[in-house]
Structure 1
Amino acid sequence: MSTGKLAIRTVYFSMLGNVLLAGIKFLAGFFGNSFALIADGIESLVDVFSSILVLFGLQYAQRPADENHPYGHGKAEALITFMVVGFLILSAATIAFQAIQNIREPHPAPENWTLWILGAIILWKEISYQIVLSRSKKLHSTSLKAEAWHHRSDAITSVAAFIGILIAVIGGEGFEVADDYAALFASGFILYNCYLIFRPALGEVMDENNYEELTKEIRKIASTVPGIKGTEKCFIRKAGMKYHVDLHASVDGDLSVKKGHDIAHDLKDTLKLELPELGHILIHIEPF
């Protein structure tokens, strides 16, 4: 299965899970008198819309290079990530506003059985996080990483809701607001995750060259190619699930232009074979 298809299947997995969980959380929160659960449901519903954006971004990023986009359309994935972060900020603000309103107004304590619902939700979201994060690392996808963090943030907001409801149930009268404070904490954690998601995507758009491990691997592979005496500059830019490389390689200065050209092609082909995640590779030959 291609990397693009695997990424898209992963997003469908997230979407289906979030649709089901949003419904469960809304129903359990409404009938169980828990705003923390309703807040959790709001986040899951927002995650569904953000998953739709991620799906669109991944599909658009798979478009091949053309005359106007010689490096492909991979940057669309990072731009979509910015929109996903916007949705998360909106959900955090909505949850915080409603939680503050609820703290000011008396309301019934949550039902005991909502704790069982939350326990199952926490387990499922953590499993989902591990699955999607593993796929994001395998495919080098920032938008899938954002999708994974949606699951992790959902799991932790569910933990906060669990603690809030537990305090409200055990404490009894006067402790009902613990549920709402849990929702308020959840909104703050969502905002923190927004930064964690936003920063790598910004670096991708700004072409930050901070891929030290990949650079070392490229230099190591280059040293095995016959005719390559060493490597100098190595610049890497990420676009979607591909890394574009500009590499300066040294060869014997007495070689003909054709021979140097052939060695450069051998190096490019070797890098493509050993590192399938590489996209456009530009080799600049230097005399050793």
Structure 2
Amino acid sequence: MLGVVGNIVLAIIKYVVGVMSGSKALVADAVHSASDVAGSFAVYIGVRAAKQPPDRDHPYGHGKAESIAAIIVAVLLFLVGIEIGKSSIESFFQPIEAPKAFAIYAVVLSIVVKEAMFRYKFKLGKRINSDAVIVNAYEHRSDVYSSIAALIGIVGAIFGEQIGAPWLVYGDPVAGLFVSILILRTAYKLGKESIHTTLDHVLHEEDTEEMRKAVLTFPEVKKINALHAREHGHYVIVDLKISVDPYITVEQGHKIGKRVKEKLLQVDNVHDVFIHINPYSEEDDDSSQGVD
């Protein structure tokens, strides 16, 4: 909600100043901030939905809502980048004037506020382990870069007019074009990561080392046949297959699985664990990955 309110205020200020000063780069930057309003709101809804407990239709919880929100943000960024680029390119074929000097103040304000918002949201996203909030934080960082580009373009255009170098006037739309490329790059990167997570991405082996060590603290566990930790937004669900003594009772095997599950639930971000018990055999050492 901080992002929503902050972006609304910045978008209004930059758009009004951009129109009054005649700065294409500042108007483009205002549109970027306006898109962040929708992005922040999508993230807010996604995080709220992800916090809902599991239900009959969603036994694994609602964590994927965060990834979906992040994808929506990436799509919005992409569309904004295309529109800003189109507007900037059209400016090269039209007579333009250098923007007024007071446009600089609005850009500097945007840089300061956006960097502060990025730092706050990035720390918050890390603390609550939310990909959607971290993605939204990087939206603010892309806004910082776009505002810097707009500042360079505006200053260059004003300076060019003062020294009689008319070609520098096009520094403003050039900055707008640079902003659009930056936004498209950010949208691609964030969208790719979010889609990767949504498609049931599992943590790599080096990321599950702590979980494997936790399982192997139990001497009754002869072997880990398979361990898949699936990311569901801000939490992880573990699918585990372990081998135990084949001559113990079903009840004993169940108790081992229950203790292993309780141990894994103590690992950071692990939300739920599903365990399958296999009978251990030395012959399975080379082929046990496929044991059911």
TM-score with structure 1 setting the length: 0.88
- Provide the aligned C-alpha RMSD in A: 1.9
Where has structure 1 moved over 4 Å in runs of 4 or more? none
Counterpart CA distance in 1 for 2:105 and 2:214 is 53
- Among 186, 192, 197, the alignment partner of 1:193 is 186
Which of the two has higher C-alpha Rg? 2
Could you say which residue in structure 2 is the equivalent of 1:103?
92
Q: Distance in 2 between matches of 1:164 and 1:66?
A: 53
Is 2:135 the counterpart of 1:143?
no
Match of 2:151 among 135, 152, 162: 162
SS in 2 for 1:233: strand
Which ranges in structure 2 are unaligned for 5 or more consecutive residues? 281-292
**In 2, Cα distance between equivalents of 1:132 and 1:46:** 17
State the identity %.
Answer: 33
Cα distance in 1 between the residues matched to 2:272 and 2:64: 14
1:45 deviation in Å?
0.6
List per-residue Cα deviations over 1:145-172 (Å, max 9, x = no partner): 2211210111111111111112112222
Alignment of 1:1-288 (within 5 A): 12-172=1-161, 173=164, 174=166, 175-225=168-218, 227-275=220-268, 277-288=269-280
Matched positions, count: 276
Deviation at 1:213, TM superposition (A): 4.0
The structure-2 alpha-carbon separation of the partners of 1:117 and 1:213, relative to structure 1 and needing over 3 Å to count, comes to farther
> Secondary structure at 1:104's aligned position in 2?
coil
Question: What secondary structure sits across from 2:272 in the alignment?
Answer: strand
Asked whether the equivalents of residues 226 and 263 of structure 1 are also in contact (C-alpha less than 8 Å), the reply is no
Measured at CA, do residues 211 and 144 of structure 1 come closer, stay the same or move farther in structure 2, by a change above 3 Å? Answer: farther
CA offsets per residue over residues 169-202 of structure 1, 9 Å max, x none?
2222412110111001110111111111111211
Q: What CA distance in whole angstroms lies between the structure 2 residues aligned with 1:29 and 1:226?
A: 69
Q: Distance in 1 between matches of 2:13 and 2:155?
A: 19
The separation in 1 between residues aligned to 2:104 and 2:205, in whole angstroms, is 45
C-alpha contact (below 8 Å) 1:165/1:179 kept by paired residues: yes
**C-alpha spacing 1:234/1:188, structure 2 compared with 1 (3 Å):** same
SS in 2 for 1:177: helix
How much does 1:78 deviate?
Answer: 1.9
Q: Measure how far apart 1:63 and its partner are.
A: 2.3
Q: Distance in 2 between matches of 1:263 and 1:210?
A: 24
**Deviations 1:30-80 (CA, angstroms, capped at 9, x unpaired):** 222211111111011111012222222222222222222211222222222
For residue 288 of structure 2, what is the aligned residue in structure 1? Answer: none
Q: Which moved more, 1:255-264 or 1:245-254?
A: 245-254
Q: How far has the Cα of 1:138 moved from its partner?
A: 2.8
Structure 1 residues 68-108: Cα deviation after superposition (integer angstroms, max 9, x where no partner): 22112222222222222221122112211211222221222
| Residue identity matched to 2:172 | D
Whole-Å separation in 1 of the counterparts to 2:37 and 2:218: 47
- Distance of 1:158 and 1:169 partners within structure 2: 16
CA distance in 2, matches of 1:186, 1:60: 32
State the distance in 1 between where 2:14 and 2:205 align: 43
